[in-house]
């Protein structure tokens, strides 16, 4: 049976089961708890089965899926590898809160693929290594460049991994009712099964399966709502009208007398807190607490529109001045970060040829586009349902989803002015992460759709976790242990080490996630700047400029990382500010520094050996899916060679 | 492929560089000008019920990126064949 048939059948079966569960819910009153369990068991079961079927110990299969993944399927796998808990759970929520400014994420996380397609993907494939540090090691020679690559790869992948694990815990605890700490470990079992048994090969096919679940579950609720409201099942076409409706509603809300009263009370809270801070003689902890309280109160006093004569809600307003600079800088950092994240770049090693690598980048972006194109619509529909279903209800008769979500502590409903009715300003949002997961419930759709969305969120978080785990384990075992510490290690030994590292990394990530450190969300955004400032310049220069040499690349990576890290930590904790740039856009300084350093230092030092320069030139002309005869590294022979 | 003369190599690469440059210029204009600096001004126009600037940042730019990469993959793959570059892999 062809791959297309297998996955076609799989999609039909998945939809069929979903419909059956829906029928069971309507006819026999299947409880939400059960629906949650069924969806989770079903999806984890699928991943485990794929892991068992595709198990392998061949290094080519284990590291790069035998370089035999067709472009379309590699595109799907990249799609789910890429779309993480942040894309699935958080993005639409951020859009619905931030409006235009949030679109930096939508553009940054898609536009980066163009950079990847024209600067990196096909050439990396032509080069034909196993990992990104592999490329750095071979192109620039010696261990130093490789080790910097390993450190940078681990730094960005691990923070990113913790965020995925946190997402898994959130979903499992909310829908299955398991405690967060246990939920984290349950979810990880599915991931570990695949990556330990079959490395990249298993991960690839699991990711394809996960992509199908995640895209179906993301589209279903919005399409359903769009059809319900406008009788057109294409939310991307209909939400323009909804934006106008939301805007009118926002203005209407702002003019409401009760709303004004509530906002005035919040304003007073903020002023009180600020006054107390000014008085001084408080401990640092108390000051922090007051600052947080003042921030929340200010937020409540101003959302969703700042003044009642606003003709355009803040939602659609394009930022200006420093706001515009930050918008552009963030978009840029997310783009170069996208093109520099090692777990995505390695996916293009798995295609059979350079041609397929090119086509594959196009498919990847197409599959990602399907979700991102819908996210702004999702945000608008979510905002609409919250306006419609929450504002103006009685505190005593809060909708069921409010009580169900309360334990997750993502939002709060407080009756500020004590009138027994929910005003918009009574709804205190602590994290917009609830938006996507709760929308089907808020809109009053059958619970089976919530179950579906849960399975999709789980698939998004787990598929990304899979790719990241593999990247981290390979960085340690292949790049650090095999290439640097013990190049004579046998194949069995290397694979065993990789497998042990997979389990250890997963456990450490789960353990760190159980602390639920708030800064993790920020760290993910940092990962993009780190990847953009460290890998992007060194990879692009390595491919496009023969003259780039080892000293230049190492200096460039270190300088890029140093400037980015300095600005991140400085602006986040010590009030450093260059042009008012946000912390998450730190790579806008690190990246140019990286490029310029590589350029200047390379020119000041000796040119790379002729052999390397020929290699760089040969990468420009695709041939047999391999830049040089045999393996570029001359070591990784097929099984049995060792 | 070893049969490519230096001249052929040069023109093969030149084509790639030109194509890449054009695509990057479009990418820059769409992202940073149309969806960024000019978005506020474009918002006075309406498209499908959306303010145009918002539409370009939320939907239009994404569609353009997808088309750009598809065009790149397609043209480069054709270009390879024209130069007799066939991979066996």
Residue A45: φ, ψ to 5°: -60, -45
CB contact (8 A) between residue B13 and residue A331: no
Q: Quick one: pLDDT at residue A539? A: 94
Residues 13-32 of A with CB under 8 A from B: none
* Nearest residue in A to B14, CA atom: A620
Q: What is the ipTM for the molecules in this complex?
A: 0.93
* Nearest residue in B to A352, CA atom: B89
Closest C-alpha among A496, A68, A114 to residue B69 = A114
pLDDT digits (tens, 9 = 90+) for A572-601: 888 888 888 888 888 999 999 999 999 999
Residue B27 with chain A: CB contacts under 8 Å: 111, 114
Alpha carbon distance A90, A238 (integer Å): 22
CB contact (8 A) between residue B85 and residue A621: yes
- In the three-class reduction of DSSP (H, G, I as helix; E, B as strand; rest coil), residue A512 is classed as helix
CB contact (8 A) between residue B37 and residue A324: yes
Residues 109-148 of A with CB under 8 A from B: 110-111, 113-114, 117-119, 122
Nearest to B87 among A118, A376, A625 (CB): A625
Alpha carbon distance A497, A298 (integer Å): 52
CA distance A279 to chain B (A): 42
Residue B23 with chain A: CB contacts under 8 Å: 114, 118
pLDDT digits (tens, 9 = 90+) for A237-264: 888 888 888 878 887 887 787 888 888 8
Q: Quick one: pLDDT at residue A627? A: 40
The number of angstroms, rounded, from the C-alpha of A569 to the middle of its chain's C-alpha atoms is 22
Residue B13 with chain A: CB contacts under 8 Å: 620
CB contact (8 A) between residue B32 and residue A359: no
Residue B28: φ, ψ to 5°: -65, -45
Q: Which region holds residue A628: left if phi is over 0, alpha if psi is between -120 and 50, else beta?
A: beta
Task: Check residue A586 and report its DSSP letter.
Answer: T
Is A311 in CB contact (< 8 Å) with chain B? no
CA distance B44 to chain A (A): 11
* Nearest residue in B to A319, CA atom: B40
Contacts of A328 (CB under 8 A, 6+ apart): B32, B36, B37
B44: confidence class by pLDDT, cuts 50, 70, 90 = confident
- In the three-class reduction of DSSP (H, G, I as helix; E, B as strand; rest coil), residue A296 is classed as helix
Alpha carbon distance A424, A402 (integer Å): 14
CA distance B62 to chain A (A): 7
Nearest to B23 among A114, A362, A365 (CB): A114
CB contact (8 A) between residue A622 and residue B85: yes
Task: Check residue A308 and report its DSSP letter.
Answer: T
CB contact (8 A) between residue B49 and residue A328: no
Instruction: State how far the alpha carbon of A191 is from the alpha carbons of A328, B6, B50, in Å.
Output: 36, 49, 41
Flag residues of chain A having pLDDT under 70: 303-315, 518-521, 624-642
Residue B39 with chain A: CB contacts under 8 Å: 100, 318
For chains A and B, count residue pairs whose Cβ atoms are closer than 8 Å: 133
Q: Quick one: pLDDT at residue A15? A: 92
β-strands B46-47, A427-429 pairing: unpaired
Nearest to A626 among B51, B72, B89 (CB): B89
Closest C-alpha among A458, A410, A427, A431 to residue A522 = A431
Instruction: State how far the alpha carbon of A281 is from the alpha carbons of A285, A291, A575, in Å.
Output: 12, 15, 22
Task: Specify which residues A412 forms β-bridges with.
Answer: A428
R_g over Cα of chain A? 25
Structural domains in chain A, sorted by start: 3-232+324-378+447-523 (1.20.1730.10), 249-318+385-433 (no CATH)
B89: confidence class by pLDDT, cuts 50, 70, 90 = very low
CB contact (8 A) between residue A365 and residue B66: yes
Mutate to test the interface with A, among B59, B63, B82 (most CBs of A within 10 A): B59
The number of angstroms, rounded, from the C-alpha of A491 to the middle of its chain's C-alpha atoms is 33
What DSSP string runs through A350-377?
Answer: SSSSHHHHHHHHHHHHHHHHHHHTTHHH
Is A325 in CB contact (< 8 Å) with chain B? no
Burial A270-282 (b: 16+ CB within 10 A, else e): beebbeebeeeee
Instruction: State how far the alpha carbon of A292 is from the alpha carbons of A28, A296, A298, A611, in Å.
Output: 47, 6, 10, 59
Alpha carbon distance A527, A342 (integer Å): 11
């Amino acid at each position: 049976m062809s791959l297309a048939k297998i996955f076609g059948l799989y999609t039909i079966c998945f939809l069929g089961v979903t419909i059956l569960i829906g029928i069971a819910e309507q006819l026999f009153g299947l409880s939400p708890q059960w629906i949650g369990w069924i969806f989770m068991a079903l999806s984890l079961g699928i991943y485990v089965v794929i892991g068992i079927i595709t198990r392998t110990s061949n290094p080519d299969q284990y590291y790069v899926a035998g370089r035999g993944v067709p472009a379309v399927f590699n595109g799907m796998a990249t799609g789910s590898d890429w779309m993480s808990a942040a894309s699935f759970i958080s993005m639409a929520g951020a859009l619905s809160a931030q409006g235009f400014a949030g679109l930096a994420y939508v553009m940054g996380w898609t536009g980066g693929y163009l950079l990847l397609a024209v600067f990196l993907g096909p050439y990396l494939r032509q080069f034909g290594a196993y990992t990104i540090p592999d490329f750095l090691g071979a192109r620039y020679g010696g261990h130093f460049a490789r080790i910097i690559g390993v450190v940078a790869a681990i730094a960005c992948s691990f923070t990113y991994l913790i965020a995925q694990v946190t997402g898994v815990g959130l979903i499992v605890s909310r829908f299955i009712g398991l405690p967060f700490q246990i939920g984290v470990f349950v979810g990880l079992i599915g991931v570990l099964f695949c990556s330990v048994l079959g490395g990249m090969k298993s991960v690839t096919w699991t990711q394809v399966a996960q992509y199908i679940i995640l895209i179906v579950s993301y589209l279903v609720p919005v399409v359903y709502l769009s059809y319900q409201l406008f009788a057109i099942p294409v939310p991307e076409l209909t939400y323009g009208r909804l934006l106008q409706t939301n805007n009118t509603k926002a203005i209407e809300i702002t003019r409401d007398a009760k709303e004004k009263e509530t906002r005035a009370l919040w304003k007073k809270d903020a002023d009180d807190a600020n006054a107390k801070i000014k008085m001084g003689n408080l401990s640092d902890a108390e000051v922090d607490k007051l600052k947080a309280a003042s921030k929340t109160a200010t937020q409540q006093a101003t959302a969703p529109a700042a003044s009642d004569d606003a003709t355009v809600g803040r939602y659609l307003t394009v930022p200006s001045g420093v706001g515009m600079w930050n918008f552009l800088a963030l978009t840029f950092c997310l783009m170069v970060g996208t093109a520099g994240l090692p777990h995505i770049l390695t996916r293009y090693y798995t295609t059979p040829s350079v041609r397929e690598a090119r086509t594959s980048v196009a498919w990847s972006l197409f599959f990602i586009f399907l979700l991102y194109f819908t996210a702004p619509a999702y945000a608008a529909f979510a905002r609409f349902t919250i306006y419609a279903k929450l504002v103006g209800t009685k505190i005593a008769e809060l909708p069921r989803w409010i009580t169900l979500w309360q334990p997750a502590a993502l939002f709060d409903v407080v009756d500020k002015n004590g009138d027994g009715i929910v005003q918009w300003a009574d709804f205190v949002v602590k994290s917009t992460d609830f938006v996507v997961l709760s929308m089907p419930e808020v809109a009053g759709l059958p619970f089976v759709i919530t179950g579906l969305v849960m399975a999709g969120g789980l698939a998004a978080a787990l598929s990304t976790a899979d790719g990241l785990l593999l990247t981290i384990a390979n960085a340690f075992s292949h790049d650090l242990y095999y290439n640097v510490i013990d190049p004579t290690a046998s194949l069995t030994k290397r694979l065993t080490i990789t497998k042990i590292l997979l389990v250890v990394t997963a456990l450490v990530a789960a353990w760190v996630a159980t602390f639920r450190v708030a800064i993790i969300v920020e760290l993910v955004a940092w990962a993009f700047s780190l990847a953009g400032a460290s890998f992007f310049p060194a990879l692009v220069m390595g491919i496009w400029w023969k003259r780039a040499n080892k000293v230049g690349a190492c200096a460039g990576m270190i300088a890029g990382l140093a400037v980015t890290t300095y600005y991140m930590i400085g602006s986040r904790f010590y009030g450093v500010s260059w042009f008012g740039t946000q912390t998450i856009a730190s790579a806008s300084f690190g990246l140019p520094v990286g490029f310029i350093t590589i350029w200047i230092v390379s020119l000041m030092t000796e040119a790379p050996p002729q052999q390397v320069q020929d290699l760089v030139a040969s990468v420009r002309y695709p041939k047999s899916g391999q830049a040089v005869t045999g393996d570029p590294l001359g070591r990784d022979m097929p099984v049995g060679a060792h | 492929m070893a049969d490519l003369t230096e001249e052929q190599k040069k023109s093969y690469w030149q084509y790639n560089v030109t194509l890449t440059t054009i695509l990057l210029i479009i990418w820059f204009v769409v992202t940073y000008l149309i969806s960024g600096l000019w978005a506020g001004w474009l918002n006075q126009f309406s498209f499908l019920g959306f303010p145009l600037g918002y539409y370009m940042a939320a939907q239009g730019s994404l569609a353009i990126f997808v088309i750009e990469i598809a065009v790149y993959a397609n043209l480069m793959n054709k270009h390879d064949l024209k130069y007799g570059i066939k991979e066996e892999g």
